[in-house]
Amino acid sequence: MAGKMEIVLVGRSNVGKSSVIRGLTGMRIRTGRRPGVTRKISRYERGELVFVDMPGFGFMAGVSREVQERTKSEIVHYLEENRSKIALALHVIDVRSFCEVVERWEGRGQLPIDVEMFHFIRELKIPLIMVANKIDLIYPEERDGVLDEICDKLGLLPPWRQWLDTVAPVSAKTGEGMAELKRLIKRKFQEMGKGRLCRHLR
Ligand code: GDP
């Protein structure tokens, strides 16, 4: 039998990575603010499919710059070293704060960490889905505008609907968009000739 394959989740702290894994698998995974919990890589196995939850990157209250940098290199190394067994990356963002955070970094003349990570994963040629989470926090009439702006920041030419194979707006909280996300993941597995992995998604 072929070895286990991984879906790796990356994103800033608190964007909803654990909630997305819970929505995709039905596993009872702890979510919410976890002060004091060590920021380790968590692995959740579903048969031959493993969900790998990376520590949140970027600024967090109470976390030194040194720890932030170390977290980022840990993620980068993990992706490089495990490239061959990573079937898919889910890059989770919080749609409500994404553009504001990116603009803050741009204002300082820095490349925003989310943008850097997005391009890094694409350079490694790891199939990627941008999971635009917490869409429930945006008024329905404002969603297209917000998603267009997110695409623009990532260098994906708006309108966002051109990128339906890359961008998946969801609410891990209400479940909205989760069925579409699952379908998209399954389609990507099938395109890669890894359709057998589909049965491990709820
Ligand atoms: P992680 O740190 O990225 O693993 O994030 P968690 O999954 O622990 O979620 C962080 C917080 O965001 C928790 O309080 C969740 O209940 C909340 N959350 C997660 N997904 C959503 C969502 O789609 N909408 C809203 N409103 N809150 C969410």
Read off the amino acid at residue 97: S
Three-class DSSP category at 76: helix
Stretch 10-21: mean pLDDT, rounded?
Answer: 94
Q: What percent of the chain has pLDDT over 90?
A: 77
Residue nearest to atom 24 of ligand 1 (CA): 134
Stretch 77-100: mean pLDDT, rounded?
Answer: 96
Ligand 1: residue of 10, 12, 14, 75 to mutate (most ligand atoms within 8 A of CB) is: 14
Cis peptide bond prior to 112, omega within 30° of 0: no
CB 24 within 8 A of CB 70: no
Stretch 13-28: mean pLDDT, rounded?
Answer: 92
Sheet of 5-10, strands arranged across: 42-46, 49-53, 5-10, 86-94, 128-133, 167-169
Q: What does the pLDDT look like over 159-179, one tens digit per residue?
A: 999 999 999 999 999 999 999
Q: Give the orientation angle of helix 178-191 with respect to helix 17-25, to 10 degrees.
A: 80
Residue nearest to atom 18 of ligand 1 (CA): 16
**pLDDT tops 70 at residue 150:** yes
Provide the 8-state DSSP code for 28: -
CB 132 within 8 A of CB 167: yes
Residue nearest to atom 2 of ligand 1 (CA): 14
Query: What are the residues whose beta carbons fall under 8 Å from the beta carbon of 144, sequence distance 6 or more?
Result: 159, 160, 161
For the chain, give every domain's residue range. 5-200
**pLDDT tops 60 at residue 10:** yes
Read off the amino acid at residue 200: H
**pLDDT tops 80 at residue 33:** no
Instruction: Provide residues with CB under 6 Å of ligand 1.
Output: 11, 13-19, 31-32, 56, 133-134, 136-137, 171-173
Q: Report how far ligand 1's centroid is from the alpha carbon of 191 (Å).
A: 30
Domain 5-200 has CATH 3.90.550.10: no
CB 106 within 8 A of CB 153: no
